[in-house]
Each structure stands twice: as structure tokens, then as C-alpha cells.
A and B are shown apart, each in its own frame.
Chain A
């Protein structure tokens, strides 16, 4: 059963130079799926994410969430929709510096004016699961990058959204923290049946997913599904990437798994 349908979405930026960022892109995401979207710089990944996030509107085509069409909602309804149905994880964490860790986590709930009791319950459950209990009273500038991203994930989960959107969640992390965060994401995906869409550059990150969707110059290029072994999945991703670059892999990292 698909939770998100992207149908023939085209996005054209008009300005002094007209730029077609997405061209008739279509795909579906099933409930409980962990999807990675890969592509070289300028392939339209961020545009696609902005469209799914509903902070931008497609020029043509449709995006449907669980039978909701965000295009038909007004601005306030859109805000409520994002607040309740979507969770975000950013590359540079985007934790608010004046709030403590726990305050950052419950922020989506305070925006939605949920009762304090609910906030506290969910906070304690999540803090336990994500191993954040010891740093709850610290501020974002007092914790490490990996911890910060875990806090950001907790923030994305606390309102139990339908879809979690992650934009290069490992882009600012070292390899250990990257692995930790990715394992966490796939654990959440498996245990809570959370749907995750992750945009990434990193083939290692992509190899944690169920399916990888490749786009190039705003168009669908290829997709591959996960098999039993991550090692071979990773190898297949690299193969597609080398095709993607037209023989040149320069833009993408060529690390092998240990």
C-alpha cells in the first residue's frame, strides 16, 4: 500500500534563466519503506524534497499523501499538515541554540499545543530508545555531532509522523557517527514501521535502505532494491552511480565498506 505517490511531477524555476529542475518524475513509496534518493549535484534532489515537504509547489503533476493532496490545502492547513504528518532531519541538524535538548525534541508538540503530560511521556520513551537521557538538559552547542543528529531524529519522531524526510543526515558526521545514525534510522524503520525518505550523496548511507531511486537532471534514471547482503547491494549502487556520472564517478565517493 503506497503512502506517497509522486505523479508526473515537473518543476520549472522561472527567472532570468529558466531552469527545469524536475521533469515528469513519478514514483511511489510504500508504508514502512526506507527509500534513498540519489543523484549527482543539481539532479533535482533538493527540489524534490522541497516539493514533498510542501514548502514548494510543483509546476505540473501531483503529489498525493494517503489520499491527501497538499496542493489543495491553504497555507494554514499546509502548516498543520507538515506539523502532524512530516518529520524532518537536516544535514546541519538545525537544532535551535537557545533551547535545551529536551526542549528541542518536544518543539513540534508545543507548536501543536499538545498537553504537557503527553510531551513528557513521549519524551521519556524516545530518550530511552535513542540513548539521550544523559544529555537532555544540555544545549545543542555542548553535544557532539552524532548526538545532535540523534536529537534531531528524536525531534522528527516525537509527533509520530507518517513520513520522515531526511536530507543528507550523515553529511556532517564522521564515519562512526554516520553508521550509528543510519543504524538508528533503519532500526526505527523496522521496529515502528516508519516510512523514511532519505536524500543522500553517500552510497554507504544508501546501502542501509530498502530501495534506492536514482535521478539525473530531474528525470528518473534507475532504481534498485535491496538484496540479502549489504555488501553486494553497495556494490550495485556503485555500479549505477558510475553509469550515472557518464563514466565519470568524480562527484561521488568511492569508498568501500570495511
Chain B
């Protein structure tokens, strides 16, 4: 038997021991390969992802690589630790450390090779399925499977180098233990508690103040807070797992009436040990899980935003121009021609909006004419407005404003023309998107509107009013390339310091396509990253348990001899595993919840989307997955220690 054969037989005949490590590598390769298949898709040149910049996909891919390297490194370490006794025997028999390194290297290469080959095969097999999902999410016509060498080469290169480097590193990095300790293993577990009360309290304080700031986040302080909060939370979480948890367990232990009762002693004592040895890992797990939660939550949010988009933007095209806008006629007729060429039906409404000064606030109000509004409402199919002289109605600028404005009653005089009006109603639907109308927009009766002859008092410097052309297009998504030249001029002007164009144009269909592509990007990147993160966080637990399994089995053997019934054994295992699973998840869930509170605050200022329903749904889904995973692991664990 040569040395190579020895390594080979080690792997092939002990496939059960290597299975966990193999699975970890296999899944990383699989996910990476599928993603590269998408990245190298020939259709991407034709912009099938809309405007998703390829650079972001590359960034996501790099994140994936870094993360999966870390992931493989960790599983490798855990795997080597689990085999410590085997190595001890080999060293005991006179194996050099150099030879040991070589053996581990050879074994890793064998496993790596198998997992790369299988990962690519399975990845290719599942590519079509993945493409189908992507096609559905992005509403693409077709996303065919293709065959090209790039994804294969990239995956092989990335993972082969990963396996080589990691196998070389992990042996060198593992601390050199005495053979005798390795052989004895279990008995030499050192347990010394090392937490300080100060740090324990500091951890809680950091986390709570992070939460507090998250609740206070608004659009104005968001940039400072977005640096500050994660920092606080990260440090707090670290201290929480290294000190606070141990402090709490220690407090419980000092209360004998709590601690010794109802066979709580063993699982509680066990927690000290688990927390002490895995505090740092729990921290990493929590952060990783939080990131996964956030990306899933963001996805859910974005998807709801896209589905609510047409409610918030009821108009297909909007053209807003100064009263003396010289381009008005030309632009409007070109838009009409384009729409007619495309065969899209539309309903055009022309508004003349006048600015006046309100005596109530001493600020400007924008005044709409009743019959203009009714014209638009007619095409929407909304109820009409009926106003008599002196009556007036608010135009809501956002969904939430409807309720607010309904409570308001204002008696005011439009100063320029001395028209007295009472504003005591609000139109119960959103008529214009919030970017178009100002916060002070009202509708007056036609009679009153005719009396507004004198212009706005600041009129030479400021525009006394504007013309608004709204196109209500039932198939608004298809109107996405109408008025592109105008849109471009507007977009260019927008970047400049001062907006000097006499007109403004908005195409809901075009904007929607931008939003959709951002959403697609998030979907692709987010789903993938979330999947990998969750997988990784799950595997961390798995490897941790796997490493300690022998020692645990021995402990349970003692307990079995002393007399522990089946149901007691099960409940003991549950109590043992539960905190390891749900503490990092629970903390991560809590973190993400507060992150979404902050996000909800910001989003409310940007666009009027409530994300509560989506986030709750996403979280419930995640909790269910976790419970299933927990039960799966628990089942295997019990089966093993009961043997």
C-alpha cells in the first residue's frame, strides 16, 4: 500500500465520516456554478436582465467566493478536529507532521475533486430549473440553457485553488497538540469561565442603544445612523455572546432552587460549556443570519413595492410645463403621435393650474379647476367632484395624507383675487403621483376658478402656474419607450445644479422598468446570498455538533447506565440543542426586526409602502424552515446517542 493509496482508501472507505465535509463543499460548488451560469449567459449582452449592471453580479459572485472559502475553511477545521483521535494514532505510530500534512492534502484534493465534479454536474442539471425561476421572477420571454466553457473553467479554478490553499493552511494553522491529549481527548476539556460583569452589561447596553437609534431613524439622520447602528449592534452582539450569556447562566447557577430542580442542572451546565467555546461562532452566525434575513426581507419589500407601483402612479405619462413653455405644442403632439403609432389607447387631460397665496398660511397654494379634475376622474372611473361656489377640496399627495387632510377644515382667502373659500373635504383617492403635486393643492369650483384673474404675487420671479398634461394609459407598461428624447433631456437637466428647463416629463412605464431591474438585481443577488448564508449558518451548527459527537455519546452512555428513560433523553437533547439553534436565530430575528423598523421609517419618507405584511410573511417562513431544520438535526442526534 503506497501513501497515495492509503489516503485514497481513507476517503473511499470512510465515506460516512467525510460526508459532512463533502456536502458542504458540494453545495458551495453547486451554488457558485449555477450563479456563474447566469453570469456568463449569452443573452446578458442583449440586456435580458434589463438594466442590472453586470458589475453588481460580479460583486455578488466575489462575495460568494469569499464566503464559501471561509465556509470550506471552517468545515475543514471542524472536520479535522473531529478526526483528532485518528491523527493521534497515526502520529503515535510514527507519522511525521509533514506526512500528516500531505495525507490531509491528498484527502482534501480527492474530496474536492469529487465535489467539484459532482457539483458541476448537478449544477448544470439544475441550471435550467434555476433559469426558469429567474425567468418567472424577471418576467422574461425566454431564458434558454446554453453550453459554454466559461462557467466550468471559473468554478473549477476557483474551487480547486480553494481546496489546495485551505488544505495546506488548515493543518498548519491547527495548534500542535500533544499526542497524549489527543488520544485521551474527552477528559481534558478545560472549562474556566471568563466573563466580566462589566462587559456583560455593556453588551446589552450596546444592543439596546442600537435598537433605540433604529427606532429614531428618519430620512435626515439616516446616513450617520446607518454607520453607527450596525457598529453598535455588531459590538453589542459580540459581547452578548462572549459575556452576557455566560453571565446569565452563571446567575441561574447560583440559584439552586432554580438550577437543581426538574433535571435542569445538566442542560444548564452544558450551556456554560457550549457558550464559552462557541461564543465567537455564535456571533458570526448571528451576523450572517441577520444579513440573510435582511436580504430576504428587502426582497419581499421590493416585490410588494413593484406590485403596488401602479396604484401609486396611476398615470402613464405626465407632462408638466410652464404656462409660456415654447415646446409645449411640439412635445404634446409628438407624444400623441408616438402613442398612436404604437396603437395604445389613452385619455389626455389638460390642466391649467394657477398659483395663489393663501391667507391662512401666507404660502402658495396650487389651484386646480373642478372640470379639469373631473375630466381625469372620468377616465379613471372614479367618482366625480361637485363643488359649488366658495367650496373647495384638498388633493391628497400620498395615501396617508388622505386621512390627515380629512380632519382638516380651513377657511382662507386667495389673496391675489380676494376669493374666499372653505376647504373641508379631501378627495378619497390618490389622483396624481406625489412627485407632481405640491403639498398644498386644492380643487375649486369652475366659478371660483374664473375669478382668479390676477396672477400670483411673486409672479415675475416665480412661475404663476403651470400646464399639466396627463395621459391615462390602460397599458401603461407598454408605453415605456414613448417620449424617450424628452425624458433624456429631463434626466440630463436633473443632474445639474439648477433645473432650468421650462418643462418636466415623467413616464411611469419607464420608471417601472428601472425599478423592476433594480428589483431583479436584488432578487438575483439577495436570494443567492441569503440561500448561501442560511445554508452556512445551518452547517456551522451541524459541524459543531459533529465535532463533539463522540464525547457527547460517551456522556449519554453514562447517563443511560445511570438510568434515563427515552423521553427524558429526548427532552435532555432538546434542551441541549434548543439554545444553540434558536439563540443566534432569535437574536438575528430581533436585529432584523429593528432594522426593518428603521427601514419602514425611511421608506415611508421615500415612497408610501408599508412593508409590515411582507416582512412578517418572510420571517414566519424563515422560522418554519428553522424549526424543520432543528427537528431534523435533533432526530439524527437522538438516533446517534441512543445507539
Contact = CB atoms under 8 A, between A and B. Distances in A.
A96 B187 contact: no
A98 B266 CA distance: 8
A83 B563 contact: yes
Given A55-B560, A96-B555, A98-B191, A110 B263 contact: yes
A125 interface: no
B560 A116 contact: no
A116 B565 contact: no
Given A82-B561, A98-B270, A110-B265, A141 B190 contact: yes
Contacts, number: 86
A86 B266 contact: no
Nearest to B258: A116
Nearest to B572: A111
A127 interface: no
Contact of B563 (A80, A116, A139): A80
Contacts of B266: 96, 99, 107, 110
Given A84-B563, A98-B272, A141-B189, A79 B265 contact: no
A99 B269 CA distance: 6
A83 B563 CA distance: 4
A96 B190 CA distance: 12
B562 interface: yes
B565 A76 contact: yes
Given A141-B187, A141-B189, A108 B262 contact: no
Nearest to B551: A97
A103 to B, nearest CB: 6
A86 B261 contact: no
Interface in B526-576: 555, 558-568
A106 interface: yes
B189 A79 contact: no
Contacts of A65: none
A41 B264 CA distance: 40
Given A103-B265, A110-B263, A82 B191 contact: no
Interface in B246-298: 256-257, 260-266, 269-270, 272-273
A161 to B, nearest CB: 10
Interface in A116-130: 116, 119-120
B188 interface: yes
Contacts of A149: none
A113 interface: yes
Interface in A76-90: 76, 78-84, 86, 88, 90
A98 B563 contact: no
Greatest chain B CB density within 10 A among A55, A76, A86, A97 is at: A97
A99 B189 CA distance: 12
Nearest to B274: A98
A107 B568 contact: no
The secondary-structure label for the interface of chain B is helix
Contacts of A88: 561-562
B260 A79 contact: no
B273 A83 contact: no
Contact of B566 (A79, A81, A86, A103): A79
A75 interface: yes
Interface string B176-192: 00000000001111110
Contacts of B272: 98
A193 B99 CA distance: 59
Nearest to B257: A116
Nearest to A84: B563
Interface string B98-122: 0000000000000000000000000
Contacts of A23: none
A79 B568 contact: yes
B563 A111 contact: yes
Interface in B117-172: none
A135 to B, nearest CB: 16
A97 B191 contact: yes
Contacts of B273: 97-98
A103 B568 CA distance: 18
A94 interface: yes
B573 to A, nearest CB: 14
A92 to B, nearest CB: 8
A97 B561 CA distance: 17
A94 B262 contact: no
A108 B562 contact: yes
Contact of B187 (A82, A97, A103): A97
B188 A141 contact: yes
18 contacts: A81-B563, A82-B561, A83-B562, A83-B563, A97-B191, A97-B273, A98-B191, A103-B260, A103-B269, A110-B260, A110-B264, A110-B266, A111-B563, A113-B263, A116-B256, A116-B257, A116-B260, A120-B256
Given A86-B563, A98-B273, A141-B187, 13 more contacts: A75-B565, A76-B565, A79-B564, A79-B565, A79-B568, A81-B563, A88-B561, A97-B186, A103-B269, A110-B261, A110-B265, A113-B262, A113-B263
Considering the complex of A and B, which 3 residue pairs feature the smallest CB-CB distances, nearest first?
Answer: A83-B563, A82-B563, A79-B565
Interface of A: 53, 55, 75-76, 78-84, 86, 88, 90, 92, 94, 96-99, 103, 106-108, 110-111, 113, 116, 119-120, 139, 141
Interface of B: 186-191, 256-257, 260-266, 269-270, 272-273, 555, 558-568
